[in-house]
Chain A
Amino acid sequence: MIAPRPYALLAEITYRCPLHCPYCSNPTRVRNDGELTTNEWMRVIREAAALGVLQIGFSGGEPLVRRDLPELVRAAREANLYTNLITSGIGLDDDRVGALRDAGLDSVQLSFQSDSTDLADEIAGTRAHQRKLDAAAKIRTAGIPLSLNFVIHRRNIDRLPQMIELAESLSAERVELANVQFYGWAFLNRAALLPTREQVVRAREIATAAKTRLAGQIDIFYVLPDYYETRPKPCLAGWGQRYLTVNAIGEVLPCPTASSAIPDLRFENVRERALHWIWRESESFNRFRGSEWMPEPCRSCPQREIDFGGCRCQAALLTGNAANTDPVCDLSPNRASVDAVLRDLNSSSHHEDDWTYRVNPKAVPV
């Protein structure tokens, strides 16, 4: 199969993070092989640009934990990549904002756990909210475009209007209101995070109304909670089509959650192979490319070029086989597994509230 060209690279440059959000999409267990060095990342950035990548997102963990972040941003700008920092904002003092701006950083996506300090700090598992507000002000003062990212779940979904107000007051240009997707720590904590049907219906109305009201001022992007859908999300616009992720230890993944969700797939490492070979030739990138791999009901489905069979990681997590149709699809023979989860939640007024906070991996320092 002829490989398409990738558009965006997600660089998860570290798994270390000062926050402990129970919905983190990072793997719950991380291999301890040592983070890629500055020079290794520089090579990855150049190879990605040569492959056709136009945009790089620096993520983690918390990317500001790496002192070499401005150097990496500069390297990406020199390779003509649009640079986006996806951050908690912790560690973003005046010096670092200045260094990142001078390196050419194009945009910051700042995460918030909620709109109010008490709830936000409870979710983050640490005192972070006020520091995020300070970080937002510094980003705006430096003239860097600001997006706010809220991860939505049962404990904060009723505060959507206040979250949108916060985005207005911080002069954000974009707001992502993303219902939690169940991978990594979020999968582990699903019972405490999944919103009720009533909450989901209400949230959708609020997000839709706000999008109309704020058009031209704030671009609002609402991510649906896919368990409540009847057709799967077109995950990544298809496996190995437009996106690739390089994680902290150098594994190259079609999506950030693939290494933990699909344990039987072997992922290549930039320490051993060139990026273009991994993208074009590797077993892991080719396994679910196109539609040849699809089972029924996807294989003969008119939707197969629209949703690509949904998410491979979700199929693996919920059915034990990554090659199955995403069980969110109501045509999937495994849809009952999703319905059972929804029924458990929505048929009872007693809800599980305890979650397990994310802990840091024992990282080998660079």
Chain B
Amino acid sequence: MQTDSKTGNGVLLFPEGVLELNETAQEILTRCDGKTVSEIIEALAEEYEVDPQMLAADVRETLADLQQRKLIDLT
């Protein structure tokens, strides 16, 4: 992931492609630093002061979608 200097938004680059990230995806990916998926959900819930259960489905869905496209590795 890097920042597009023209827009300030996060982008994921891959061979012959670029994925412009929405705010949600960007917030999730900036927290992919060795944390588990559950830890990412907790961190986001704390940051935005919401119930982790409200976020969980969105976070898991976003990560699964990116993994399907081989843009991230979940270990």
Contacts and interface: CB of A to CB of B under 8 A. Distances in A.
Interface string A239-269: 0000000000000000000000000000000
Interface residues of A, number: 21
A282 to B, nearest CB: 21
Contact of A174 (B5, B13, B15, B68): B15
Contact of B6 (A5, A109, A147, A174): A5
A42 B73 CA distance: 33
A147 B11 contact: no
Contact of B68 (A82, A145, A216): A216
B11 A216 contact: no
Range class of the B interface residue count: 10 to 19
B54 interface: no
B68 A80 contact: no
Contacts of A215: 68
Contacts, number: 43
Given A54-B11, A80-B2, A216 B16 contact: no
A107 B70 contact: no
Nearest to B71: A219
Nearest to A109: B15
A4 B20 CA distance: 16
Contact of B18 (A55, A107, A145, A174): A55
Contact of A218 (B13, B16, B70): B70
Interface in A286-342: none
Contact of A52 (B6, B67, B69): B6
B6 A107 contact: no
Given A216-B67, A219-B70, A84 B2 contact: no
Given A55-B18, A109-B16, 13 more contacts: A5-B6, A8-B16, A52-B5, A52-B6, A54-B2, A57-B15, A82-B2, A82-B14, A82-B18, A215-B68, A216-B67, A216-B68, A218-B70
Interface of B: 2, 4-6, 11, 13-16, 18, 67-70
16 contacts: A5-B6, A8-B16, A8-B18, A52-B4, A54-B13, A55-B18, A80-B5, A82-B13, A82-B14, A82-B18, A107-B15, A173-B70, A174-B14, A216-B67, A216-B70, A219-B70
Interface of A: 5, 7-8, 52, 54-55, 57, 80, 82, 84, 106-107, 109, 145, 147, 173-174, 215-216, 218-219
